């Protein structure tokens, strides 16, 4: 996959890992590559977001251009230049 520049939105819970930043720019072709690139610049992300077998933790949602990646191709979802990848806690909302 060709790596393109994308922006990753960091939830408050993980901003300490990113030096307090709310957004980090990385080069990646897929969501998995974006998370790996994030881990490379700010070690510690992967173990917080992914479970033992490398899939997203149950209570972590990842969105590409406002769409839940579980409606796309999951971690294999391809990225285009300038897209925003948001990491958002899943436990919110509802009645």
* # residues near other proteins by CB under 8 A: 25
d(CA 4, CA 11): 22
Q: Choose between 34 and 87: whose C-beta lies nearer to other proteins.
A: 87
Helices (H) and strands (E) in the chain, counts: 2, 5
Binding mask 71-90 for other proteins (x = CB under 8 A): x--------------x-xxx
Distance CA 64, CA 87 (A): 9
Residue 65 touches other proteins, criterion: CB under 8 A: no
Tokens of 45: 């992300």
Binding site for other proteins (CB under 8 A): 9, 11-13, 22, 48, 57-61, 63, 66, 68, 70-71, 86, 88-95
């Amino acid at each position: 996959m060709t790596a393109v520049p994308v922006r990753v939105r960091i939830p408050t819970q993980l901003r300490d890992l990113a030096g307090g930043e709310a957004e980090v720019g990385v080069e990646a072709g897929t969501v998995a590559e974006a998370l790996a690139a994030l881990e490379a610049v700010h070690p510690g992300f992967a173990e917080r977001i992914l479970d033992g077998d490398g899939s997203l933790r149950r209570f972590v949602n990842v969105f590409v251009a406002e769409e839940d990646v579980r409606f796309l191709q999951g971690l294999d979802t391809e990225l285009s230049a300038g897209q925003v990848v948001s990491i958002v806690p899943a436990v919110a909302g509802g009645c």
